[in-house]
Amino acid sequence: MLDIFVFVLSFPLHSFEFSTFLSTFAFNLIRPTNKELVTMLLKDINIGSHSVLLLDRDGVINKLRHKDYVKVWEEFEFLPCVKETIAKWSNQLRYIFVVTNQRGVSKGKMTEEALVEVHRRMVEEIVDAGGFITKIYYCTALTDEDPNRKPNPGMFHQIQRDYPDVKQSECVMIGDSKSDEDFAKNCGIDFIYSTNEE
């Protein structure tokens, strides 16, 4: 009898701990970490409580061009549902940055002016769909040693310099390559793997 009494007395505590456990468990299910990589279409990604999003460009926003670069706007093709998904996220995010390696410029495949024009048109279409892009960071460096070329964290340091209120803990990077994953790791931020396969 005493045992039952003690159990009843302590039940609210158990109940609280159990609900905390459940919510932590549920949160971990939707919150991908570097240890628990998930592979999914952009539209199916749950960015959880993150308020700052870093997006890779090629293979995440637009279709990859096999062994080629997007050299002009006419070669840029949005992946399905990307504009709508960014528009949806735009309601809950403080900042959305694009971080992209574009060494085609240094290789002479396209001009930096053409790259800037591609980005201008890309942002225009995202805005027309109801979304926003805070700023696009790109690295045209040829060598992998360049501090700004992913997976090196230089572009994230630029973000932190330009937006000092950005904290690592509130950032999530979405990318389609090991380089993006390593970039996120080097920045100390969460990472979600997105596939461009429909």
Catalytic residues: 56, 58
Q: Per-residue x/- mask for Mg ion, residues 96 to 125, rule CB under 5 A?
A: ------------------------------
Instruction: Judge residue 21's burial from the number of C-beta atoms within 10 Å of its C-beta, 0-12 exposed, 13-18 middle, 19 or more buried.
Output: exposed
**Phi, psi for 138 (deg, rounded to 5):** -130, 150
Q: 173 - beta bridge partners?
A: 54, 191
**What's the CA gap between 38 and 44, in Å, rounded?**
11
Nearest-approach distance from CB 54 to Mg ion, in angstroms: 12
Binding to Mg ion (CB under 5 A) within 164-183 occurs at: 176
The residue among 51 and 186 lying less far from Mg ion, judged by its C-beta, is 186
Judged by CB under 5 A, the number of residues near Mg ion is 4
Binding to Mg ion (CB under 5 A) within 31-50 occurs at: none
The residue among 131 and 175 lying less far from Mg ion, judged by its C-beta, is 175
For Mg ion, the binding residue among 32, 53, 55, 56 (CB under 5 A) is 56
Instruction: Note the residues at the interface with Mg ion (CB under 5 A).
Output: 56, 58-59, 176
